[in-house]
Amino acid sequence: MTNSASSGAAGSMAASGLDVLQAMMEGRIAPSGIAQTMPMRLSAVAPGKVSMRVVPDERHLNPAGMVHGGFAATCLDGAAALALFSALDAATPYSTVDLSVKYLRPLAAHTEYLAHATLVERTRSLGICSAELRGTDGKLHALASATLMVKT
């Protein structure tokens, strides 16, 4: 996931990534394009923490009729990136450089899942985040570790 908020409406509306995310969650600004392609909806934001509700549909099925693992990976990457963004200035660019995903249970189409991510460590040029994807029953379906580069 890459961000350049300064080139969009979000960058001009707020000084912090957290402000941008709160505005998206409240519907004051439009969600990013990826949040529309991969139905991801912010449900909670705090400095270094993000939660999203995600619902795969038939667009996300593999030829066997199962939700493709890329759906979970994209949701986990997105949540991790937003956890970092919530701790940055809105105009600071960032990009994922490494994503490691572990799949524990398959996902079902038309079922809601919760993606939670936390900024674990931030250096001048890197953000390390953890993310998990759980069913509404609390069962863990996938987890990830992400390293993101921060342009300073």
Q: Where are the domains of the chain?
A: 2-150
Q: Which fold has domain 2-150?
A: Thiol Ester Dehydrase; Chain A (3.10.129)
pLDDT for 111 equals 97
pLDDT for 4 equals 42
pLDDT for 10 equals 47
Residues of the chain where predicted confidence (pLDDT) is lower than 50: 1-2, 4-12, 14
Mean pLDDT of the chain: 91
93 touches 19 (CB < 8 A): no
pLDDT for 9 equals 44
The pTM for the full model equals: 0.89
What CA dihedral angle connects 18, 19, 22 and 26, to 10 degrees? Answer: -170
